[in-house]
Amino acid sequence: MHRLLIATTNPGKLREYAAIFAGLPLTLHTLADLSIADDVEETGETFAENARIKAEYYARCSGMVALADDSGLEVAALGGEPGVFSARYAGPDATDAERVAFLLRKLEGVPFHARLARFVCVIALAHPDGAVEYAEGMLPGVIELAPRGHHGFGYDPIFYVLDEDATLAELPPERKNQISHRASAARAARVVLERWLMEGRL
């Protein structure tokens, strides 16, 4: 089996990747598995830059191919905000509920049809030899006028998906994981991993 480092401490994220990479001859490791406690400062201005910073750093630390992702919400009416600042949009220690409330206040007076948004996820796969490849996923939606649903986390209660006629927080987790921006990026990353396995680079 070949080894792949998933640069996360989030067990839910690891489960999502394990499901999408099922069938590949890969053993997935987390930072905790390798006792890597270092945190990397995400100083990039784009999702791709932040994902690359993390993937390259952990590939160097571990000597393994490392996968890192960065994701967030982009709202057209706010010029693409919160973008890379999605997690700290309402301040570094804000709760999910406070971030949602902050975003809704910024959109006060904006009608539903003008609240177009998208979730974006960019995955960077970094090889210890310095090679980096990217995979991207996106989920379009509309920002709701008020939170709905009890599943998910972050901005899920106000992210309405037209095709599902529901917010992400109203969908069962299994369905959300099928259509999410991360799932779509992970499926694209699987194609890169399959190629790297064929080329003997993993």
Helix (H, G, I), strand (E, B) or coil at 95: coil
| Statement: residue 23 has pLDDT above 80 | yes
| Statement: residue 13 has pLDDT above 90 | no
What does the pLDDT read at residue 16? Answer: 85
CATH code, 2-198 = 3.90.950.10
**Is 70 one of the annotated active-site residues of the chain?**
yes
For residues 8-39, one letter each, b for 16 or more C-beta atoms within 10 angstroms of the residue's C-beta and e for the rest, the string is beeeebbebbeebbeebebebbbbeeeebeee
For residues 87-104, one letter each, b for 16 or more C-beta atoms within 10 angstroms of the residue's C-beta and e for the rest, the string is bebbeeeeebeebbeebb
Q: Of 33, 38, 69, 70, which residue is the catalytic one?
A: 70
More confident residue, 140 or 16: 140
Q: How confident is the model at residue 123 (pLDDT cuts 50, 70, 90)?
A: very high
More confident residue, 63 or 152: 63
What does the pLDDT read at residue 174? Answer: 87
Total-model pTM? 0.92
| Among 103, 34, 40, 97, residue whose Cα is nearest residue 68 | 40
Amino acid letter, 139: L
Average pLDDT over residues 78-91: 94
Domain ranges for the chain, please list them. Answer: 2-198
